[in-house]
Amino acid sequence: MDYKYQITIGMPVWGVEKYIKRSLLSVLEQDFEDMEILVIDDCGTDKSIDIATELATNHPKGNKIRIIRQPQNLGCWAARNRVLDEAQGKYIFLIDSDDFLFDNAIPKLYQKAEETQVEATYGSVLPVNEFGHPIDNSGVDGINLPDTVLRGEDLLASFANDNTKKLRLNNFIWNIMLRSDFLRKHQLRFHQTKFWDDVLFNADMQPLVTSAAFISDLTYHYVIRDNSLSNFQKRDIIQAEEVRQNINNHEYLKVQCLSLKEKKYFETRITKMMRAMFYAITGALRNESHLSEPIPYKEYRDAMRHPLSWNEIIKFKHYKSINLIFWLLGNLPPFISIAIIKIIGKSRRLI
């Protein structure tokens, strides 16, 4: 297939007037010419798009920017899908509009992708605050990668699911040089959700990847802001609908594991997803007093239902005990289940 560009860089934009100039400049100033920059206008009310337009008009490389307006505010998931639809590059690279790139990030990732001819090329990530200062002990796992190439079915997914506690490969979808033909072959799309669309996309994508490369060089500044959705626990009022959406996302990840039953990493994967659901529920319980409305304990209990039967779990070679506990938590009466979750959560300082 012929491509108009070697790389399409996609950036969803909504409400980031404080950050978008830094983000776009970090892309425009890459030492790489054969690329397009898709800025997806998600119909915000601030000056983000005015800033993008000014750069497109006046920056020496501004003609690389193509601003595409959504019909209405749809959310990041839809903006990212618009990038997939509009991209004219051999590779697609996503960046969030409050994050920014290291110098020569794109040339480094492109060179590795071309040398190895893999489907996905990952760089390493530096967490920073909104002023660009590194955050020590950020708690973000799976962002410092070894220089390696993985070739073979399930090798990437096995790498990502080699233990149940610490991520070896984070679930972000940005900072990956993805082959367009790979994405289109598998018809990969972002799910409609207010947040975590990247995590859901990764859950769909990783089992399909048969070749991937990592570089240890830092290529991406990940900006962690206190008022982002991923940090909603720091707000005074948390919308109950956000908590329900978070649980629904975890539910998808949990059920999606059923398609991986024959994989060697299945027991690790389902244990991770059940543990993640447990953490999501303890997080909601920790913030009960901040919820916009109470959430019935039955909803939390139902969320803990294991997608496997007791008899299936009994046959596990690994992580049998913890999955049996999760199974019980999903089948006990709600008030007993939540009482146990609170006891465990408090003992582990999760509540």
Per-residue pLDDT in tens (0 to 9) along the chain, 351 residues? 789 999 999 999 999 999 999 999 999 999 999 999 999 999 999 999 999 999 999 999 999 999 999 999 999 999 999 999 999 999 999 999 999 999 999 999 999 999 999 999 999 999 999 999 999 888 888 899 999 999 999 999 999 999 988 889 999 999 999 999 999 999 999 999 988 999 999 999 999 999 999 999 999 999 998 655 444 446 688 899 999 999 999 999 999 999 999 999 999 999 999 999 999 999 999 999 999 999 999 999 999 999 999 999 999 999 999 999 999 999 999 999 999 999 999 999 998
The tokens 């990956």 sit on which residue? 176
Return the pLDDT at 240: 94
Measured CA to CA, the distance from residue 52 to residue 109 in angstroms comes to 24
How open is the CA angle 287-165-334, to the nearest 5 degrees?
Answer: 45
Residue 218, phi-psi category: left (phi > 0), alpha (psi -120 to 50), beta (remainder): beta
Q: 158 and 265 in contact (C-beta within 8 Å)?
A: yes
Burial of residue 92 (CB within 10 Å: 0-12, 13-18, 19+) is: buried
Return the pLDDT at 98: 95
Return the pLDDT at 328: 98
Sign of CA dihedral 289, 294, 295, 296: positive
| 339: its two tokens | 């009482």
Burial of residue 4 (CB within 10 Å: 0-12, 13-18, 19+) is: exposed
HSE-up of residue 170 (Cα within 13 Å, Cβ side): 21
Return the pLDDT at 231: 44
Chain centre to alpha carbon of residue 105: 19
Burial of residue 166 (CB within 10 Å: 0-12, 13-18, 19+) is: exposed
C-alpha distances in Å from residue 25, one per residue of 82, 127, 128, 171, 346: 22, 19, 17, 25, 45
Nearest to 156 by CA among 205, 200, 115, 94: 205
Q: 68 and 40 in contact (C-beta within 8 Å)?
A: yes
Nearest to 13 by CA among 45, 55, 56: 45
Q: List CB contacts of 240: < 8 A, sequence separation 6 or more.
A: 291, 292, 293, 294, 295
- Residues 264-276 have pLDDT tens digits of 999 999 999 999 9
Query: For residue 124, what are the β-bridge partners?
Result: 218
Measured CA to CA, the distance from residue 54 to residue 51 in angstroms comes to 5
Task: Name the helix (H) or strand (E) containing 215.
Answer: strand 211-223
C-alpha distances in Å from residue 5, one per residue of 48, 93, 121, 183: 26, 12, 18, 16
Beta strand 100-101 with 176-179: parallel, antiparallel or unpaired?
A: unpaired
Return the pLDDT at 268: 97
Return the pLDDT at 227: 53
Return the pLDDT at 72: 96
C-alpha distances in Å from residue 141, one per residue of 131, 165, 192, 340: 21, 10, 25, 28
How much is the pTM? 0.93
